[in-house]
């Protein structure tokens, strides 16, 4: 596929770093036309990647931007990856923290999906991958983050039911620890908390962003059309580690 107008279009949010950045590059290499939304455009953007600066916390501005993009040509895929993670304990979690996390982690997903939905329905084809987290199962000092990432799972299951007759699949990836810039800052190599985390992971390592991107590509594939409403935990075995005790 050399003509970009014939490539399936995929929108990726939070696309400038970490999982989003790896997904942009991986999908572009697989032949998709990737359009990424992020607060800033990365300095290593390639000619086959389209980045658009967007404040996803501005929900109506995001709706207008994504609607304009969808009016230019329909989208085959949507990867809702952008997220905000407050790291406060229960006693210090504010309503403002909850509202901010809800706006980006959940409501921005809704706005992007609604903007792309008419085109997917008309084409009777679509793939949606929403990024949740293992923290949806519970994680200390993550009240707002855990709550909203659990909401992503419930929301996705509902979308999967509503959109099945349109041949649009909706699935969730829930990563465990991933070697992103933010993770490396919060969990420096050799630090006691980092060593404790690695000891808890059966595979004894963290994931690389490209491993999450590979799973996203799998769920976008046309042959994944019978998979919908599912949550795939990519966490090195953390979600089953208690069974070893």
Q: Domain for residue 148, yes or no?
A: yes
Q: Domain for residue 194, yes or no?
A: no
User: pLDDT at position 197, please?
Assistant: 86
E-assigned strands of 17-150? Answer: 33-38, 49-53, 77-80, 126-131
Instruction: Give CB contacts under 8 A, 24+ apart, made by 217-225.
Output: 217/26, 217/27, 217/30, 219/127, 219/129, 219/169, 219/171, 219/173, 220/10, 220/27, 220/32, 220/76, 220/77, 220/79, 220/127, 220/129, 224/127, 224/169, 225/167, 225/169
Would you call 145 a catalytic residue per the annotation? yes
Determine which one of 26, 32, 76, 145 is catalytic.
145
Considering its fold, how many domains does the chain have in total? 1
Q: Domain for residue 197, yes or no?
A: no
User: pLDDT at position 35, please?
Assistant: 98
User: pLDDT at position 12, please?
Assistant: 98
Tokens standing for residue 152: 């992503």
Positions of the chain with pLDDT lower than 50, given as ranges: 1-2, 245
What does pTM read for this prediction?
0.94
Q: Domain for residue 190, yes or no?
A: no
Q: Domain for residue 125, yes or no?
A: yes
Is 65:116 a contact under the CB 8 Å cutoff?
no
Q: Domain for residue 18, yes or no?
A: yes
Where residue 222 sits, what CATH number does that domain have? 3.40.50.720
Q: Domain for residue 189, yes or no?
A: no
DSSP state of 208: P
Taking the C-alpha atoms of residue 211 and residue 67, their distance in angstroms, rounded to an integer, is 30
34 — phi, psi (to 5°)? -95, 130
Is 128:78 a contact under the CB 8 Å cutoff?
yes
Query: Which residue range is the domain that position 81 belongs to?
Result: 4-178+208-234
Taking the C-alpha atoms of residue 133 and residue 110, their distance in angstroms, rounded to an integer, is 17
Q: Domain for residue 240, yes or no?
A: no
Tens digit of pLDDT for each residue in 170-205?
999 999 999 998 788 777 888 888 888 889 999 999
Provide CB contacts within 8 A for 188, sequence distance 6+.
194
User: pLDDT at position 2, please?
Assistant: 43
Tens digit of pLDDT for each residue in 101-122?
999 999 999 999 999 999 999 9
């Amino acid at each position: 596929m050399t003509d970009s107008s014939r490539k399936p279009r995929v929108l990726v949010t939070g696309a400038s770093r970490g999982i989003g950045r790896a997904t942009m590059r991986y999908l572009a290499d697989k032949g998709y036309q990737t359009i990424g939304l992020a607060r800033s455009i990365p300095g290593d953007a390639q000619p086959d990647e389209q980045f658009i600066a967007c404040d996803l916390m501005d929900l109506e501005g995001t709706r207008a931007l994504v609607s304009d993009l969808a009016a230019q040509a329909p989208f085959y895929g949507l990867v809702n990856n952008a997220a905000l993670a407050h790291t406060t304990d229960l006693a210090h979690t504010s309503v403002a923290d909850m509202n901010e996390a809800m706006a980006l982690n959940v409501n921005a997903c809704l706005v992007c999906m609604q903007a792309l939905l008419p085109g997917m329905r008309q084409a009777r084809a679509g793939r949606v991958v929403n990024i949740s987290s293992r923290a949806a199962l519970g994680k200390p000092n993550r009240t707002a983050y855990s709550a909203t990432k659990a909401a992503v799972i419930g929301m996705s299951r509902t979308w999967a039911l509503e959109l099945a007759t349109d041949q649009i699949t909706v699935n969730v990836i829930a990563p465990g620890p991933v070697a992103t810039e933010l993770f490396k800052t919060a969990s420096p190599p050799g630090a006691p908390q980092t060593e404790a985390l690695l000891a808890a992971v059966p595979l004894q390592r963290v994931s690389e962003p490209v491993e999450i991107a590979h799973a996203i590509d799998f769920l976008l594939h046309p042959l994944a059309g019978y998979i919908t409403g599912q949550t795939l935990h990519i966490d090195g075995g953390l979600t089953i580690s208690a069974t070893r005790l």
